[in-house]
Amino acid sequence: MPASFHIIGIFGRVKNPGVIETLKTLTTYLKKLNREILIEAETASAIDDASFLSVSREELCKRCQLIIVVGGDGSLLHASHAVVNNEIPVLGVNRGRLGFLTDIHPTEFDKIKAILDGDYILEKRFLLTATVHHHGKILGENNALNEVALIPDLVPHMSEFEIYINNQFVCSQNSDGFIVATPTGSTAYALSGGGPILHPSLNAIVIVPMFPHTLSMRPIVLDGSHEVTIVITPNNTTTPRLTCDGQAAINTPLGSQITIRKKTQKLHLIHPKDYDYYETLRSKLHWGHKLQYYVNSNSHPPFGNH
């Protein structure tokens, strides 16, 4: 039986419109449910309510059984980087634009009560770890729930690099860069670059070239356990940068080697019991909905048995 949650951590990106209002409503609601509430320090300063305990992000990760993030997908991405090593379950309340990862609408706090009582779906999403080596030294390392991306430095400029998978040479490429995305990130930056949508349950990653010079270059889907290595060749006139979930850009000098592999720890993502992945795709990507005829009819759909 799924565990119930009694010690709740609160995290919010308070610059987003409406977040502070929702945070105040949420904390009041949780207080009525007799839950112990810990609020991340920066979030607590925005709420400005001395009746709640303010703690550092590190303390939040040590003491909480569940962290509720108020904001958009970017807020949940930010929180995931902080909690993933502790594998603390995370629930998102959506005050953003899309909300692929933040399921709860601010008017649906009854779903939060059900989740706290143990009525929920637990989904484990894997992350990637990207490490940049140069002449035997590590220049930087970071995790990505969505994607690792090699992008131009300041001015858009085509870069040359080589791609290896499990130490096997795949190809050299001239392009603006590349994206290595998880199934979670397949509906983000990689989708904009023409990549496929991967179901979150897949153990797979996708490499998406960004504006390649060779038009036959296409996205490729790999086993999630494969290791991707990118070598920045000496022929470049500029040095691209590496980002993880759009954060912490790492410079990649000529001759750099970028290693991308699956992270051991996973993000434990909490959904309400009525969570429907395909409904999320329909609503966020504006796909067509089921025809009313098949909603209300006992007839078989066209592809069923007759």
* CB contact at 8 A, 254 and 232: yes
Q: How far lies 14's CA from each of 23, 76, 283, in Å?
A: 9, 13, 25
Spot the catalytic one: 73, 103, 176, 245: 73
179 φ, ψ (degrees, to nearest 5): -130, 130
CA dist 265 and 278 (Å) reads 26
- Verify whether residue 48 is a known catalytic residue: no
Residues taking part in catalysis: 73
